[in-house]
Structure 1
């Protein structure tokens, strides 16, 4: 588990070449991407379905979840597909929820903390136990391994931390002030309205059918002056450009050829869209949040994370690039159920994955993953 730093230290590390900061008068001008139709026949889309989730299984706020990881609960919560363990409730989110994936997410969390810091600078003040009669509360949507929310629960032990995901959080060291709830957030967050000082979501766009509606729901769970913090990536690889205006690697599925990591991402993006997710959400996060009538003081960052330790990068970039390389190598394995379930033939998945692994391990291309982060405060009036 990540060792927490001094809560008064929230400055970015020596990573400023990776990041850009915009205030709420700026906007992201990227257009939503389009790609050619895939050379395969995906199964019927599930994007119009309500998923197989039983709404009655929710834990109504503020009643704690009654989930425990018994064998019967595990059998109900998980299903086996293509050699991996996936959630059994949503047909939209198609990435695994097994131990191998949780290990990837824990390591990814550590990388993000090193690169970006733990929280937006205003979070410690918001979560401080300084309002008589009010318990500060934080909601983490799509909590994954729980590393982020459990870290916050330990740092603010007088607060309430609620972790929501499609499967029960499986940590044996969950703090007493943190609880896990099983829910499909596509069904709405009305049962949480007005309950939280902070709401957080990170890299969940592949499982979200309507991201604009999710942002509206998140704004409504907040108390006045509460903090919304959302972070996503755009399912693209970006080619390094010396002037810093990195070029998106726009590819199609009409051919199977290099660059391989970028090609694999195109297939993953289309598979997410086929399942009903929103792979382009990152491109529009800033505009959606800046235009929301309940939110203000919007701050935007983008982070250019090297996909490998290419020789042209400086030492810190190489260090982060090695971490991101390992994360993507694991992500290629995690993405097999996503691609195979979308109808991509197994021999194509094998070719894409094998070549992408070789490209990453050889650090053949100076490329980036772009992660976009937006935080804002809820208006008080």
Structure 2
């Protein structure tokens, strides 16, 4: 069973922890478009599943092993595919982005309470693939203190506020997730496509990570912006002309593909999940976020302000990616500066499209041998 949703949060009420009620803005520019039907890991936290874990701190030698400095930014030292920064500046961007996403999408999909409701003596487990700053998994750990929460990324999660039921593991998702099979009740991944070689394989592995009736949630964007009629803006990298933010994204998409990432994963995400024989109760959602505060209508103006701040920081984060793929620095500078000016002027009506899919694992699913 699958249903496709094109939704906006209910702006007249506070979103509940598991709220998924939405309303569209009929008769306005905000009307949504028509609906179409590792082999090994290293636990850097040295934590057990005890409610009183040991304290972890990163030594200078461990930090040196985990990070490398390229084009003035700190990048992970373990993947040749993912080349966005992993430094404090990027983590601050991801923290702010997480707060925006909570406003736009709500905290969690509705099935979360049922999925993480544990029987006496039972421990539920949550896995966050590509956790970034860890904002999402730490929210889950605080909201569900009896759940065992595991954050996986290419660099260790650094937070003085990490809840005692949360631990960080360093791993490359591209190497496989066999060591997690049948261990988790909820698997979450958000905006990981730029570092994933074979995204459909990751979806398949995530299904096998789940226990029966476990919850799978993936969310991506497609490295494009959309115009006021919700049409995707397609621009070549052979022409250097406005609009500049969509043009910058065209170069970013090209660079992700060149590094081996799956920049087009969002386009196929619904199909991969819907067609997987191990999943049921599939829900697909589009969320349209203004790229700048070009409207006076709330909450979209507020979201536009926050998304613009995210994009302005992302312009800086994308420099190592583009420069590392051979885009000349003067051209990167030109694209970046013109995109920044365009976004600050708020004259271009544009949206970022966030595509989310969540589903439950079938009880009777047996993976092919």
Please point out which of 91, 94, 97 is paired with 2:83.
94
Unaligned runs of 5+ in 1: 28-52
- Post-superposition CA distance 1:196-230 (Å, at most 9, x none): 00000000000000001000000000000000000
Query: TM-score, length-normalised on structure 1?
Result: 0.85
Offset of residue 133 of structure 1: 3.1
| Corresponding residue of 1:380 | 363
Please point out which of 268, 279, 298 is paired with 1:295.
279
Whole-angstrom distance in 2 between the partners of 1:64 and 1:193: 19
Please point out which of 286, 290, 299 is paired with 1:316.
299
Whole-angstrom distance in 2 between the partners of 1:7 and 1:307: 26
Offset of residue 367 of structure 1: 0.4
| Aligned ranges 1:77-226 → 2 under 5 Å | 77-129=66-118, 131-226=119-214
User: SS of the counterpart of 1:167?
Assistant: coil
Offset of residue 319 of structure 1: 1.0
User: SS of the counterpart of 1:339?
Assistant: helix
User: SS of the counterpart of 2:299?
Assistant: helix
| Corresponding residue of 2:231 | 247
Whole-angstrom distance in 2 between the partners of 1:369 and 1:327: 11
Offset of residue 57 of structure 1: 5.3
Compute the RMSD of aligned alpha carbons.
2.2
Whole-angstrom distance in 2 between the partners of 1:274 and 1:284: 19
Contact 2:18 2:108 in 1 (8 A): no
Offset of residue 314 of structure 1: 1.8
Please point out which of 221, 240, 244 is paired with 1:260.
244
Contact 1:20 1:303 in 2 (8 A): no
Contact 1:235 1:279 in 2 (8 A): yes
Contact 1:138 1:198 in 2 (8 A): yes
Change (3 A) 1:21 1:137: farther
**Of 6-15 and 181-190, the range deviating more from structure 2:** 6-15
Offset of residue 316 of structure 1: 1.6
Offset of residue 11 of structure 1: 3.8
Change (3 A) 1:368 1:6: closer
Change (3 A) 1:212 1:8: closer
The structure, 1 or 2, with the larger RCO (C-alpha pairs under 8 Å, 6+ apart) is 1
Q: How many residues align?
A: 341
Unaligned runs of 5+ in 2: 1-13, 365-369
Whole-angstrom distance in 2 between the partners of 1:213 and 1:343: 29
Offset of residue 247 of structure 1: 1.1
Please point out which of 233, 256, 270 is paired with 1:286.
270
User: SS of the counterpart of 1:315?
Assistant: coil
Q: Does residue 354 of the first structure (1) align with residue 343 of the second (2)?
A: no
Change (3 A) 1:208 1:109: same
Please point out which of 60, 74, 77 is paired with 1:71.
60
Q: Does residue 331 of the first structure (1) align with residue 314 of the second (2)?
A: yes
Offset of residue 132 of structure 1: 3.0
Change (3 A) 1:123 1:9: closer
